[in-house]
Structure 1
Amino acid sequence: MDLAAPSALPLPAAQPTAPSAEELAKRGQIAKTAQDFEASFLSVMLGEMFKDVGAEAPFNGGVGEQAFKSFLSDAMAKQMVRNGGVGLSNRVAKEMLKLQGLS
Structure 2
Amino acid sequence: MTLIPATLPPIPPAPDALRRSAEALESAFLAEMLKSAGVFRAHDGPGGGGEGEAQFTSFLADEQARALVARGGIGLADSIEHALRQRAAGARP
The percentage of aligned residue pairs carrying the same residue is 27
Q: For residue 29 of structure 2, what is the amino acid of its counterpart?
A: F
Alignment of 1:53 onto 2:41 = yes
TM-align CA RMSD:
2.3
- What is the deviation of 1:44? 0.7
Normalised by the length of structure 2, the TM-score is 0.75
Structure 1 unmatched runs, 5+:
1-21
Provide the rounded CA distance (Å) in 2 between the counterparts of 1:73 and 1:91. Answer: 23
Normalised by the length of structure 1, the TM-score is 0.68
1:95 aligned residue (63, 69, 83): 83
Q: How many residues align?
A: 81
Return structure 1 stretches of 4+ with deviation > 3 angstroms.
51-54
Structure 2 unmatched runs, 5+:
1-10
SS of 1:57's equivalent?
coil
- What is the deviation of 1:54? 4.0
Following superposition of structure 1 onto structure 2, how do residues 18-97 of structure 1 map, counting pairs within 5 Å? 26-50=14-38, 53-97=41-85
